[in-house]
Amino acid sequence: MNPLNPWAIAIGVLAIGIPTALHFLTKPKPTAIPISTISFLYELIQQRRSKSKLRDILVLLLRSIAIALIALAIARPRLSAPPIISPNPDTKTARVIILDQSQSMAAGQGTSRPWERAQAASLRYLSYSDDMQSGVIFAGAKARSVYERLSNNFESLAEAIKKAKPKPENANVADAIERAGQLLESVPEGVAREVVIVSDFQRNDWGALSLEALPADTKLVVEQASLSEKDNIAIVSAKPENRVTVKQPGTIQVEIANYTTQERNVKCRVIIEKSTFSAQALVPAQGTSVLNINASFDEPGWRTGYVSLDGNLDVQPLDDSYPIAFEVSPSPKVLIVTRQSVEKRDSSSYFLQQALSASLDKATINPVRSDKVLDSDWNEADLIVLSHPGQLPRSHTEKLAAAIRRGRGLLLLMSEPADGANHSSLAEMWGQSYQSPVQWTNESRGEARRGLFVAKVQTRQLPFQVFGDSIYGGLANVKLGGGLPTVATREGLKGAVSAELSDGSAWLTMTDCEAGKVAVMNCDLQKSNLVQEGIFVPIIAEISKMLLDRDRVELSICGLPIVRTMPIATSASEPFQVRAIDSLSPSIQDQGKFEFSTTKRSVVWTWPESIGPGLYEVLQNDAPVFAVATTVPASESDLTLLDENGMKLQLEGSKQRIGIRNTKQSLDEQIDTWWTWLALACTGIMLLEVLILLWFRT
């Protein structure tokens, strides 16, 4: 027990004896009265004396208990430990309040939302005191502090909390803690450092909470504004499965998550401009389901729309609708750069052209001699193939490197040392954006690289995933020759090697390079029998599909910077305009910057922060050239929270003093609950004394 006024207990102990003392001090002395005979009174006197003693004992006991209860009520005891941080400190204090502003705080309805309780809890810690300075940090996708330093302008800080609203973002906890540590760093010695975190403590955001950025002597209070109802069904992803080609059947994949304890039958509707598609699925409890919605489009260009759940009423309505934007592309254009004649039927370039023609329906295959490639060839190609091109001049490698950065696909046949030199030049230009899993050595071993076979295949990864273990049967009779020896670069990049040869060198690698993707096949098709096997065309089909069907719909998460490369046809000299496509999308305050990138040879759009979920288009000369859909982070749909035990485990080992409480109970209630019950008990004792006196009187 931790009394707020311990002196009252000492006074109460002394006062308990007062009723007994008064009783004996005021007790009348007996007076002798002569009576002729008392035999008939003796029995009556004995009876009344025993009743009086019992009455006096009960009354004295009740009065002593009443005094003890009054003393305890004045002492204001509390059974829990005193709060680590008091709303009204009596010493010099520097206090930082971190208020979670993520989307999960908006779950629920009306005043039952965690946000309203978190606001009220935060305001309690803004004490109007000359001895305290405070700071307020809103924890969203990035930490936003009201002032750059601690302040005693409590009215302004309180007004900022009152006006704030939850944002459709996740909570960057590490950034908020680091910002709090920076505010407390300049606090002089002798001033108490305090941090108050007010949040629902959603597990996805706060599961990795660390306090290392705070000074060791900081006192910390965790205020949990939890939501009792956590059931939610959400759309967590919506995008085309592959490249969407004009007048070709396509698939839009919609992933739905069920964060309830029962399986649900969910109806989904996709509205893309004037086209409407529908589907439904049974989503398991605490699981996900992917709906495949078939769609086709007759004209190329950008398409925008919304995926929504029909009749879904839960605590988080914002994730029942998901904006989607994607490009419908014309039939792909493939550029084969080579020194060989594609008319020669035993050349690698001929084999590749035939395999690509069989794999890509309605694709335009354009073989060009490496010394006659035009700038427009690099710019217009969706897929670029290098097959015996010889060593490319730097002007060509610069254009090729820029095309891959912009999102094109590259298939490089590593057949001879010149191909290794081309790869090294490209890797140097790409820098850190390209991490090759192996190093290709520019030395030929002649006959040593003949008769090789495929020894190991990553059957669970693309492009071999579609074949499974049957790929070994398809490659059983394949003998490969040519190519270059390889040396592994880093152990962490080993997964990018899709297949290995019998001499330990890499046969196929798949590596991302900014928006594009690079595939390297290490062999010379003219020195191999691969083209004679039935597995050759399916492998080339899967590789080209990967290079063309890379993830064209990049996630644009609310609150995070967006960097996108504009189409090569746009002009750097003409102004760009960004606007919301519909009334559901928040209007734009800052459309960001459009700057020409020399490495990509195109205009790059940088949008510092999207303010909410919606659809936006980029225009030049009043014509749309690009579109983007901004979405709420999928992690905010899972409303599973860290409970008190989970938070204690998470904060175990921290140097700071930590207290954990729930905002449903105010600090005043925690302190003063018991004195009211003690006062009521004292009143009950007094009533009981009156009843006893009345009973003995009768």
120-157 per-position pLDDT tens digit: 999 988 878 788 899 999 999 999 999 999 998 999 99
Report the amino acid identity of residue 263.
E
Averaged over 218-227, what is the pLDDT?
85
Residue 484 · residue 534 · CB < 8 Å:
no
> Where exactly are the structural domains of the chain?
7-25+37-77+673-697, 93-226+640-665, 233-321, 333-548, 556-631
**What is the pLDDT confidence band of residue 641, given thresholds at 50, 70 and 90?**
confident
User: Of 12 and 548, which is predicted with more confidence?
Assistant: 548
In terms of DSSP bridges, do strands 132-139 and 602-607 run parallel, antiparallel, or are they unpaired? unpaired
Q: Is the pLDDT of residue 515 over 70?
A: yes
Question: What is the spatial distance between Cα 480 and Cα 160, in angstroms, rounded to a whole number?
Answer: 69
Residue keyed to tokens 């010695």: 189
Domain boundaries 556-631, CATH class: mainly beta
Query: Are the C-beta atoms of residues 84 and 221 closer than 8 Å to each other?
Result: yes
CA 562 – CA 641 distance, rounded (Å):
29
**CA nearest neighbour of 615 among 603, 626, 601:** 626
CATH domain 333-548 topology: Rossmann fold (3.40.50)
Specify the higher pLDDT residue, 450 or 22. Answer: 450
**CA distance linking residue 656 with residue 676, whole number of Å:** 34
**What DSSP element (H or E) covers 631?**
strand 623-631
Predicted pLDDT of residue 17: 66
- How many Cβ atoms are within 10 Å of 222's Cβ, its own excluded? 25
Average pLDDT over residues 537-543: 93
Q: Has residue 671 got a pLDDT over 60?
A: no
Read off the pLDDT band of 426 (50, 70, 90).
very high
10 Å Cβ neighbour count for 409? 26
Residue 324: closest CA among 634, 619, 623, 616: 616
46: Cβ contacts below 8 Å, ≥ 6 apart: none
The whole-number pLDDT of residue 398 equals 92
Tokens representing 312?
């879904």
CA distance 353 to 370: 15
pLDDT for res 635: 92
* Amino acid 666: pLDDT: 47
Nearest to 632 by CA among 547, 531, 555, 526: 555
pLDDT the model gives residue 663? 59
Kindly report which listed range (34-38, 102-106, 314-318, 532-536) carries the lowest average pLDDT score: 34-38
What distance in Å separates the CA atoms of residue 587 and residue 280, rounded to the nearest whole number? 33
The pLDDT, as a whole number, for residue 446 is: 47
Query: Using omega within 30 degrees of 0 as the cis cutoff, is the peptide bond preceding 463 cis?
Result: yes
Q: Inform me whether the pLDDT recorded for 631 exceeds 90.
A: yes
Ranges 57-66, 363-372, 420-429: which has the least confidence: 57-66
Predicted confidence (pLDDT) per residue in 233-290, tens digit: 999 999 998 888 888 888 999 999 999 999 999 999 999 988 888 888 899 999 999 9
pLDDT band at 47 (very low <50, low <70, confident <90, very high): low
Q: Are 147 and 160 in contact (CB under 8 A)?
A: no
C-alpha span between 5 and 13 (Å, rounded): 14
- Per residue in 155-206, pLDDT (tens digit) is 999 999 999 999 999 999 999 999 999 999 988 888 989 999 999 999 899 8
pLDDT in tens, 642-665: 877 767 766 666 666 666 666 555
Of 261, 247, 79, 102, the closest CA to residue 166 belongs to: 102
Task: Give the C-alpha separation, 128 to 480, whole Å.
Answer: 80
pTM of this structure:
0.77
Return the closest-CA partner of residue 527 out of 413, 625, 419.
Answer: 413
pLDDT of 345 reads 79
Backbone angles phi, psi at 187, to 5 degrees: -70, 130
pLDDT for the residue 669: 44
Is residue 232 within 8 A of residue 319, CB to CB? The reply is yes
Over residues 568-579, the pLDDT tens digits come to 888 888 999 999
Q: How far apart are CA 195 and CA 26, in angstroms?
A: 60
The model's confidence at residue 698, banded by pLDDT at 50, 70 and 90, is low
- The b-or-e profile of 41-60 (16+ CB within 10 A means b, else e) is eeeeeeeeeeeeeeeeebbb
What confidence score (pLDDT) does residue 676 get?
72
| Nearest-angstrom CA–CA distance, 250 and 629 | 19
Asked if residue 672 has pLDDT above 60, the reply is: no
Average pLDDT for 439-467: 80
Q: How confident is the model at residue 668 (pLDDT cuts 50, 70, 90)?
A: very low
Alpha helices in 519-564 (DSSP H): 536-548
Q: Which CATH superfamily hosts domain 233-321? A: Immunoglobulins (2.60.40.10)
- Among 263, 300, 310, residue whose Cα is nearest residue 285: 263
Single-letter code of the amino acid located at 144: R
Query: How many whole angstroms separate alpha carbon 601 and alpha carbon 614?
Result: 29
Identical fold between 333-548 and 556-631: no
Kindly state the average pLDDT of the residues 384-391: 94
Per-residue pLDDT for 688 more than 80? no
Does 649 or 214 have the greater pLDDT score?
214
**Confidence (pLDDT) at 645:** 73
pLDDT top residue among 652 and 428? 428
Distance spanning both ends of the chain, measured CA to CA: 43
**Of 532, 523, 346, 506, nearest to 449 (Cα)?**
523
Residue 283 is classified by DSSP as E
pLDDT band per the 50, 70, 90 thresholds, residue 222: confident
More confident residue, 657 or 309: 309
CA distance 252 to 552: 13
Amino acid, res. 571: S
Residue type, 576: F
5-33 average pLDDT score: 64
> Which residues does residue 501 pair with via DSSP β-bridges, in sequence order?
454
Mean pLDDT score of the chain: 84
CA–CA gap between residue 153 and residue 134 (Å, rounded): 8
- Is the Cβ–Cβ distance between 95 and 191 less than 8 Å? no
Q: In whole angstroms, what is the distance from residue 627 CA to residue 326 CA?
A: 7
CA-to-CA distance for 2 and 19, rounded, in angstroms? 28
Helical spans, DSSP H, in 29-110 = 39-75
pLDDT value at 70 more than 80: no
**Residue located via tokens 């800052």:** 590
Write out pLDDT tens, residues 82-112: 667 777 777 889 999 999 999 999 988 766 7
Pick the CATH number of 93-226+640-665 from 3.30.67.10, 3.20.20.80, 3.40.50.12280, 3.40.50.410: 3.40.50.410
Helix then strand count (H, E) for the chain reads 15, 31
Residues 144 and 163 sit within 8 Å (Cβ to Cβ) = no
Give the torsion sign (CA, 295, 296, 297, 303): positive
Q: Residue 507 has which token pair? A: 């046969």
